[in-house]
Amino acid sequence: PLSVSQPLTDINVLLGQPGTFNLTCDAFPAPKVSWFFNDTELKNSSKHKIEAKQNIFSLTVNKCDHPDVG
């Protein structure tokens, strides 16, 4: 079963700065985490960096701007 030990929280970011969301969860087998914004799956790009290190999954939004609010 999946156990979320650190759920997602809202973050405040200054315009033009990066913002990172972290999710910590444990499961076996290791879960596959997908990130979405407005029902669109996000992929690694110059705007979004998606990482998974052990049981910590993160999404970094580079150069946050007004359209990133939500």
Q: pLDDT (tens digit, 9 = 90+) per residue, 41-67? A: 999 999 999 999 999 999 999 999 999
**Could you tell me what percentage of the chain is helix, strand and coil, using 3-state DSSP and rounding each to the nearest 5?**
5, 40, 55
| Residue 1 · residue 27 · CB < 8 Å | yes
Distance CA 19, CA 17 (A): 7
Parse the chain into domains and list their residue ranges: 3-68
Answer yes or no: pTM beyond 0.85. Answer: yes
User: Homologous superfamily of 3-68 in CATH?
Assistant: Immunoglobulins (2.60.40.10)
Q: How confident is the model at residue 10 (pLDDT cuts 50, 70, 90)?
A: very high
pLDDT of residue 29: 87
